[in-house]
């Protein structure tokens, strides 16, 4: 495996997302990472067994989807050419950017309604996701223009 800037950005993303996957599977009541306890309704639905099961199913589903991304990125990291890694980084930029299209407006609205704890978490999450976009975009630019 060649450790270029594209590979480094993929490794950083994988490490951070593995932490989020662990939280979703084993500590969904956490407010760390992608723990769903930031949503106040997470605790409200605990009294309704069918809603509780649905909420846990969705948390585990998100973790499973993240796991698919991680495994595919690891396959690309260890077996892909530099060109494949470059296209993977472009795919990550495009797929991560969709957060701002649908998910961010929803969590921002929930935050405004006082349904997110701590208040202002939507901004924090937006900055974190924006950081991923910046990291991958910077890696892509450095790869294309500086051959790093």
Task: State the pTM of this model.
Answer: 0.93
Q: 2 falls in which pLDDT band (50, 70, 90)?
A: confident
Q: 67 falls in which pLDDT band (50, 70, 90)?
A: very high
Q: Is 116 strand, coil or helix? A: strand
CA distance 32 to 54: 21
Q: 44 falls in which pLDDT band (50, 70, 90)?
A: confident
Where are the domains positioned within the chain?
Answer: 5-29+37-143
Mean pLDDT over residues 4-29, rounded? 97
**In this predicted structure, what is the pLDDT of residue 112?**
97
The alpha carbon of residue 90 and the mean position of all alpha carbons in its chain are separated, in whole angstroms, by: 16
């Amino acid at each position: 495996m060649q450790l270029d800037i594209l590979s480094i950005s993929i490794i950083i993303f994988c490490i951070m997302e593995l932490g989020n996957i662990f939280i979703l599977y084993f500590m969904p009541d956490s407010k760390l990472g992608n723990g769903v306890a930031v949503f106040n309704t997470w605790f409200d639905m605990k009294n309704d067994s069918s809603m509780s099961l649905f909420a846990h199913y969705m948390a585990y589903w998100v973790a499973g989807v993240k796991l698919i991304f991680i495994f595919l990125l690891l396959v690309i990291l260890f077996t892909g050419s530099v060109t494949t890694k470059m296209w993977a980084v472009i795919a990550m930029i495009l797929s991560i950017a969709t957060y701002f299209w649908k998910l961010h407006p929803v969590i921002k609205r929930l935050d405004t309604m006082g349904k997110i704890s701590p208040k202002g978490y939507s901004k924090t999450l937006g900055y974190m996701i924006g950081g991923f976009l910046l990291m991958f975009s910077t890696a892509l630019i450095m790869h294309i223009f500086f051959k790093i």
